[in-house]
Amino acid sequence: MKSRFPLVFLWVLFCLASFAVIDCSKNEEKNLASGYTEENNAWNGLDSTLAKLLETWDSEVASDSVERRGTGEAEGKSWYEVEFMTEGEVVYVKEDDSSKAVVVLSVYERENGLQLKMETDSKMYNYTQMLERDSIFAVAVDRMDNSYVGDGVVEHCRADSLEFVQECSGSSGVFTDQYMLEKCTELHLVCRKSFEVSMSAEEYLATTVKKLKDRYSTEQTVVSNTLVDSRDGKVYRTIEIGGLTWMAENLNYAYKQPTALWDSSSFCYNDDPAYCDKYGRLYTWSAAMDSAGLFSGSRNDCGFSTYCLAGRNVRGVCPEGWRLPNYDEWTALIEAAGGLNVAARNLKAVEEGGTDSLGFSLLIPGQHLEYQRESDTAKGYANIGVSVNYWTTSEYSNNEAWGYYFFRDYDYVGESWRSKYFSMPVRCVKGEPSKLAPGEVDPESVEVGTLTDPRDGIVYKTVKIGEQVWMAENLRYAVDGESVCYENNEEYCAEFGRMYKGANPADSTADGTLQSYCPEGWRLPKRSEVDTLKVRTGSSFTTIKSASGWGESIGNGSDIYGFNILPGGSSYVRDDSLWFHDIGEDAIFWTSTYPTTYLVEAPEPYVFVIQAGDGSRIIDPRYYLYIRCIKE
């Protein structure tokens, strides 16, 4: 650390070196440089006060500067503090929306200087410029004295230090002092720049004052539109779209937790750091969710082959104060960008074939597939510049998570789920999530009841979820020749209910047969009603699956709605025999809906499948499947 000589001493040295040319005695009649007049210094309404100051400058500047030396952690560090002896005359005040003065530009007559004071969310900032000068030369002394608060103080401190030093050296200045701790909360910098007085006062004044004023505007813009990750100092642009603040760049934090196959769970495309610099990193879903609990403080085991059930507020791998977005928050972003058909065009960066009209600058960094080994093509990396899926917190199944697909060559966006084995990019959002996804019913509002089937006296639990009333157990009404227990074992019927044969393909009223199995006042659900149920319960069947009984490879649900879907398997007629399969793995239910594109002679009805997050699909009517009735 260099020490700064008292300015008076520097002045003496200069005088001794120049005594044959310059009279260094105190001269009441100043030899002013050409151009230092009020009429030549008019600029932005600050001319009168500052011009008078310039006309009276002498060599005395900050003679009361005090050197400070650190103790403790700051041992060996030193810095200078300028203690102004006179109050400055305020010549410029900028106010924010609440009329609080957040930046003040002052003139100090004795010290012949300007000082900008400002306060942002991250720092309290004093930038001071003073001048020593006579008729031949001048020395500008720039000082930066910052105190940092809030998140990212170290990163802000280092960034400010680097900027100041670069600006000083770039203008032929000498950087003479710095005080910065390993974990700094303060920064004190000094730069001395000598220049010929041939620079007019107008030019110098305009440049200096404008720089001070603009510094505040720049600082506010940077603070409000950037994120500094305190873990590694990386800075990201941010953007507000649809009422939610998003990162406008892909996350590039190195999450180094090893996996079964790799020494990390986040990757640079093709293992090349240059791709990380441009595109950010690719994360396995377990890394995106911070499965190891590096930042949440506890493991959540959000890996492959298990339901995570982590809820909606998941920080995951994101910086402090930010979190991984939910599927519905990506949905809202897509809507704000014009909807599925055109959103990609508006969100993608120009270099990715978009217009970037919202400033989201979406990139297409491809993907990495974890279980592909190094012998595979490109070490498991693929699709860079072609397509990409971004992770969300929302699970589709124990093996997949929801996301949205973007293509470089297309304007539309695809709704998708991807295997948790994939590694894909992350965009983080700021703020608390809503308690419920759009359309989701609060589990605490669910009404429970009972239904007694008058045909056999069996009593069933019921649940009202939103506007729908459902049986909360599978139907157990026995129909000779048309219903069976799994493996023809009555104990399975008691646990899972009965399975019912699909409608006769030759029957033009095929769904009517299945409808008649429900108690009076109840019926088979339509496919659209199953879709509504899924939305009402969080767009995943996870929340209506039973909390136990499912195989390890499938994973249990949370059953927070009391719907209690059990993995009863299914049965199929083959070679005139019944074949039973997938108990502990599947739960499949008949609906009353048939695709209109299928012939009546061979109808294949829709079912809804609860396995690892499946939804509605068509199925061969020769199956024996379960029934959940809905109230008419």
DSSP 399-457: SEEEEEEEETT-S-EEEEEEETTEEE----EESPPPSS-TTPPPGGG-EEEEEE-TTT-
SS3 142: strand
pLDDT tens digits for 37-58? Answer: 333 333 333 344 444 444 443 3
**Rg of the chain in Å (alpha carbons):** 36
Scored b (16 or more CB within 10 A) or e, 316-329 reads bbbbeebbbbbbbb
Which residue is it, tokens 């986040």?
A: 266
Exposure string of 446-469, with b = 16+ CB inside 10 Å and e = fewer, is beeeebebeeeebebebbbbbebb
Q: Are 495 and 566 in contact (CB under 8 A)?
A: yes
Asked whether the beta carbons of 472 and 462 are under 8 A apart, the reply is yes
Signed CA dihedral, 99, 101, 103, 104: sign only: positive
Order of strands across the sheet that contains 606-610: 587-590, 606-610, 616-618
Q: Residue 376 and residue 381: Cα distance in Å, rounded?
A: 9
Overall size of the chain counted in residues:
632
- Kindly report the three-state secondary structure assignment for every residue of 330-375: HHHHHHHCCCCCCHHHHHECHHHCCCCCCCCCECCCCEEECCCCCC
Give the residues of the chain that fall short of pLDDT 70.
1-114, 116-123, 125, 131-139, 149-155, 175-185, 195-224, 370-378, 503-513, 595-605, 611-618
A 10 A CB-CB count for 273 gives 12
Residue 545 phi/psi, 5-degree rounding, is -75, 150
* Lookup result for tokens 């200087």: 113
Tell me the per-residue pLDDT of 553-574, one tens digit each, with 9 for 90 and over. Answer: 777 888 999 999 999 999 988 8
Tell which residue, 442, 406, 448, has the closest CA to residue 563.
448
Task: Report yes or no: 289 and 314 within 8 Å, Cβ to Cβ.
Answer: yes
Rounded to two decimals, the pTM is: 0.60
Q: Read off the DSSP letter of residue 611.
A: S
Q: At what angle do helices 47-55 and 201-225 cross, to 10 degrees?
A: 130
